[in-house]
Structure 1
C-alpha cells in the first residue's frame, strides 16, 4: 500500500510531446517510449540538458482514451527552446496528493486505485493534471526497483 501524503510543490518546467492512446498498457508503453525518444532527440539536437527525470502529465480521460504529455524536466530557461511538436509547460505549484510507487509500471494502476479510495475517504477531490516523474528506467534497473513519484492536483 502506498503512503499517500499531502505536500506542497513548486512548478516543474518540462519539454514534452502529446500523445493519445486507449487504456491498453501495451499501447500506452509504446506511445510513451516514442514520445520520450522524440523529446530526447530534440533536446540533444538543441543542446538542452535534462533538469531531472522523465515525466508524464495526464490531463484528459474520455471514452476509453487518455491524452498525456511525455517528456523531460528542464531548467526554466530551457523552456524557450520548444519548437514544432515539442512544447513547453510546467506542472502546477500548490498542494497535491503525493505517493511513491516502487516496482513495475503495470502496478501503477493498482496504486492509483488505492489513491482514489484514499481521496474519497479523506474527502479530497482531484483536478487535472496528474503527473509522474520517473527517477530511473527499465534500462538501468530491474522492474521491481523502478521508482515513480506520483502527484495528483486537488480541486478547490
Structure 2
C-alpha cells in the first residue's frame, strides 16, 4: 500500500509539474512567410481575395482531396466567409474582416478541435518591389494557444511555428504557379476581312531588331503622348504600331509608334513627333487576347487564313497593330487585347458583271 501511495504521489507530482511547465510556456505565436512573385500586385491579390479561388492553391487540399467546403453568399471583401469539414485536417471557418484592395487582407480563422475552438488572425500583405510588375507577398497568422493546445502541440511532430511555416511556404509556391498560369492564358481569333477607315495620326519612327521592338516601343509611345499633352492634342483612338519595312532574314524592322488624331497637326521643323495619314484599306483582322509575346502566333494564324482563302497581300499598304486597352490599366497580360490588320488587295469584278 505504501508503494502504491508513493506511486500515486509521484504521478501527482509529475502531473502538477507538467501543468506548471505548460502553463508557464509562452503560447503566443506570429508566423509568416514571404515570397516575391513576378506579377503585378493586383493580379496576385485577385487570386487571393475570393475564397472560391483558394482551392486552386491552398496547401491543405493536398492533404485531403475530399475536404468539404461550404461558401457563404459573400466570398470576397469584408464580411466574406467560408467553412470546411475534413477528417484529415479538421473542421473550421474563416471570415474576412478588413480589406485594402491590392494592399492588405485581414481575416479571422477558427479551428474546431476535440479540445475546443481556437481563434487566430490571418493576414496578407501585397507590396510592390523596386522591379516593376513584381510583388512581395506575405501570408501569416498570429494568435494565442490555450493551455490544452500547448499540451497537444507538445506531442506533435512539428511545433506550431514549424507547421504553419511549412503550410504558408507551400501555399505561396502554389499561388505563384496559379498566378503565372493565369497570366500565360491567351486566345487568337481570325475575325476575317474588314474595312479600316484610316485617318490622321501622330507618330515617331525608328529602326530596330525584331527582338527589341517591345523595349523601344514604350519610350516611343511616351514621346508621342508627351508631345500631344504638351500641345493639348487629344487622341481620337487607341495607339497602334505601323510596320513600315521588315527584313525577316536579318531580323530587323522599321516601325512607327502612332496615336490617332481627328485632324491634321502641323508640327515644327525638326520635331521628333510628326503627323501622318493612313489611307482607308481592306485588311484581314486578327484579335489576340493575351500577352504581346504571343503576337507571332497570331500572325501565323492570320497568314494561314490569307493562304487558305487565296487572298493577296497589298504591298502598297503596311500592316499594323492596334492596342485596344492600356496595360497600365489592365495588369494581367492575359486580358490585353491587340488587333492585327494585314492589308489585302481588293478583288475587282470583271467589267459587265
TM-score (norm 2): 0.41
The answer on whether the counterparts of 2:201 and 2:261 sit within 8 Å (CA) in structure 1 is: yes
Q: What does residue range 66-85 of structure 1 map to in structure 2 within 5 Å? A: 66-76=253-263, 79-83=264-268, 84-85=271-272
1:33 corresponds to 2:218: yes
Compute the displacement of 1:65 (Å). Answer: 0.4
Higher Cα radius of gyration: 2
- In 1, are the aligned partners of 2:190 and 2:302 still within 8 Å (CA)? no
**Do residues 155 (structure 1) and 342 (structure 2) align?**
no
The DSSP-based 3-state class of the residue aligned with 1:97 is strand
1:132 Cα deviation from its structure 2 partner: 1.1
Paired with 2:283 and 2:241, the residues of 1 have a C-alpha distance of 16
Return structure 1 stretches of 4+ with deviation > 2 angstroms.
none
Cα deviation for residue 17 of structure 1 reads: 0.2
CA contact (8 A) 1:46 1:81 kept: no
Count of paired positions: 152
Is the Cα contact below 8 Å between 2:190 and 2:305 reproduced in 1?
no
Alignment RMSD (CA, Å): 1.5
Number of the residue aligned with 1:11 = 198
Do the aligned partners of residues 81 and 46 (structure 1) sit closer, same or farther apart at CA in structure 2, a change above 3 Å counting? farther
Tell me the SS of whatever aligns to 2:311. Answer: coil
Unaligned 5+ segments in structure 2 are 1-187, 347-353
Structure having greater relative contact order (Cα 8 Å, sep ≥ 6) = 1
Match of 1:94 in 2: 281
Is structure 2 residue 318 aligned with structure 1 residue 129? yes
Q: Name the CA distance, whole Å, in 1 between partners of 2:324 and 2:260.
A: 11
Retained in 1: the 8 A contact 2:289–2:334? yes
1:99-132 superposed Cα distances (whole Å, 9 cap, x missing partner) = 2211111111100011111111111122331111
Contact 1:132 1:150 in 2 (8 A): yes
Match of 2:335 in 1: 145
Query: Aligned-pair distance for 1:147?
Result: 1.1
The normalised TM-score by structure 1 is 0.90
Query: What displacement does 1:149 show?
Result: 1.6
Aligned residues of 2:267 and 2:275 also touching (Cα < 8 A): yes
What is the SS of the residue equivalent to 1:3? strand
Larger relative strand fraction: 1
| Cα-to-partner distance string for 1:43-99 (whole Å, 9 max, x where unaligned) | 0111101111111011100232011110211112xx324341211112221311112
